[in-house]
Amino acid sequence: MSQSRERLMQTLQELGILAKRSLGQNFLVSDLVIERIINQVKEFAPEELIEVGPGPGALTYFLRQMNVPLQLIELDSKIAAYWKEQGLEVLEEDALQLDWSRFFTGKKIVFVSNLPYQISSSIVIERSLEANGVEHMVLMFQKEVAQRIRAPAKNEHYGLLSVIAQVFWKTAMVTEAGPRDFDPPPRVASRVLSFSRLPTEISNRKAFLTFVKTAFAQRRKLLKSNLSGLLKQKQLTEEQLVSLLAELGFKETARAEELSPQQFVTVFKKLGFDT
């Protein structure tokens, strides 16, 4: 039996709980996966740490040994109370509803989590909309979501999440994690990615999110058709977009999936949406 599984069983016994599927709880029990995650966190040399969904503490056990301020965000009230009793700072709130600016102190913040699958895409986008704050992230995803995050243009997995993640972050794979690396085992494979914030020429991140989301609204439609409503709002013509696409080497029949993340930035800025 792995050491992490032994710690899990002991902590669950102390808490008197089982994993709650309603909260997306699948507890990590692989010593190797945990070691790779922690090593990546250490490589980022954090000055402050934030962990979402610590659960019984597979990662928390090691994060608290790094001797930097550690903030936990835990929605399960019984688990939150347990970590408070251990002397750790815990916010019993939904990570997607929380004002993260409260954590931004100017120090290098690393965000680490074995994320509940149902919030993983949303939390990456939320952190991408912030101009500062979290400097690095080490996050667990369902494998298909991880593929979307790193997919190149013209790939079947490429879409809104790919563009947003790649414009604002440098990403890398940390490790794979199979169903047996969790208790209870999920029905899907998982993958851990690291994120490092990239400099960007975009000033209005929310407008960029709207622009990209609109571009991918109906994947089968031409880019000019999907963007027609936004063009009218800006008093721009379809011809202006087609001309810009031609400059980038695209036909007027181009679809959103053909443009690279950087080409999205170019079109967004040159059409004057970044205001």
Known binding residues for S-adenosyl-L-methionine are 26, 28, 53, 74, 94, 114
Asked whether the beta carbons of 256 and 215 are under 8 A apart, the reply is: yes
- Residue 249 region by backbone torsions, left for phi larger than 0, else alpha for psi between -120 and 50, else beta: left
What is the CB-side half-sphere exposure of residue 202 using CA atoms within 13 A? Answer: 28
Pairing of strands 109-113, 48-52: parallel
Residue 210 burial (CB count, 10 A): 14
Q: How many residues does the chain have?
A: 275
CB distance 186 to 26 below 8 Å = yes
Helices (H) and strands (E) in the chain, counts: 12, 9
Q: Which of 159, 172, 148, 63 is nearest to 114 (CA)?
A: 63
Residues belonging to the binding site are 26, 28, 53, 74, 94, 114
The one-letter amino acid at 254: A
Q: What is the DSSP letter of 251?
A: -
3-state SS record for 75-91: CCHHHHHHHHHCCCEEE
| Location of structure tokens 């087609």 | 242
DSSP label at residue 151: P
